[in-house]
Amino acid sequence: MKIVVLDGYAGNPGDLSWSELKSLGDCVIYDRTEANEVRDRVKDAQVVLTNKVPFTRAQIEALPQLRYIGVLATGYNIVDTVAAAEHGVVVTNVPAYSTASVAQMVFAHLLCVVTPVEIYSQEVRAGRWSRCKDFSYISSPVTELAGKTMGIVGLGRIGKAVAGIALSMGMKVIANTSKQPAELPQGIEKVDLDSLFAMSDVLSLHCPLTPETAGMVNAHRLRLMKPGAILINTGRGQLVVEQDLADALNSGIIAAACLDVLSQEPPEETNPLLEARNCHITPHIAWASNEARARLMQIAVDNVRAFLSGTPQNVVS
């Protein structure tokens, strides 16, 4: 059994071990693979693991020996699952490995805005507190989250985790979700999407990317938001119309945006959000804590082992 990992570096830049995967077969691991290199690298492989390298219908049809594609992520839109099923190729994903890490990043971003510790730390190092006439040096506002409204789009595992943290901090939580009101955890109120935008002091996106949700954060909905509102996106970059968000930030329609994802990654230098006012961007790292990556690798190996034993798990094809 030949196993090929096409782009293993993001999940394991060297601080984790591939030894357990290597024990399952003849294993070749590439840090990165360009689209034009895929066929040559996997032509003899029955099992392929990919994070962001796509598998189209044409690629699947050109690889008759392929029997398994393991996606090293929760989202699996990079694989044509219909074509895979038609050709007897099992496709699996890695669900629920990063819930705690992503929820933590939501509040790392939020607290960076409402309690600007780093700004104050830099100012103290610059001597501004030492030169202050008062015992307390205040230059940037600090905002208390208790009593504010957290709006959440999507109440899957991560959305629920974010809601739980918000409730524990004394925030009111509202959500737009396909779930019925009776299915919601205690303390969460269901509202329609436009009302969510209008009512939220903090709005966090946790819905999947679909034709219906693509571009859901646009000029119309941004104009519904409070001037002091904060938008957080750790979901998918394409949920946001980026020029509309940049315009809203630069004109003061909303107060701040906190983004861990963009529509193109890495972004073009011309992306309008890179220089937008009060726009805080991290490079798609919410998923990437050491603990989450270790879980990802373990589940991915368990998926391969289950497939080889004839009882595949986490199948999405």
Gap between the Cα atoms of 46 and 314, Å rounded = 18
Burial of 135 (0-12, 13-18, 19+ CB in 10 A): exposed
208-214: which pairs have CB atoms within 8 A and are 24 or more residues apart? 208/75, 208/154, 208/235, 208/236, 209/75, 209/77, 209/235, 209/236, 209/238, 209/239, 213/153, 213/239, 214/238, 214/239
Gap between the Cα atoms of 91 and 116, Å rounded = 44
Gap between the Cα atoms of 158 and 167, Å rounded = 14
Which position among 41, 67, 157, 284 bears the catalytic label? Answer: 284
Task: Decide: 300 and 94 in contact? Cβ < 8 Å.
Answer: yes
What phi-psi label fits residue 147: left (phi over 0), alpha (psi between -120 and 50 degrees) or beta?
left
Which position among 265, 268, 275, 291 bears the catalytic label? Answer: 265
Q: What is the dihedral of CA 146, 250, 282, 296, to 10 degrees?
A: 70
Burial of 139 (0-12, 13-18, 19+ CB in 10 A): exposed
Which position among 206, 236, 293, 295 bears the catalytic label? Answer: 236
Q: Is 86 a catalytic residue?
A: no
CA-derived radius of gyration, the chain: 22
Q: Is 223 a catalytic residue?
A: no
Q: Tokens representing 149? A: 């409204």
Q: Is 87 a catalytic residue?
A: no
Q: Is the torsion defined by CA of 284, 289, 293, 298 positive or negative?
A: negative
Catalytic residues: 236, 265, 284
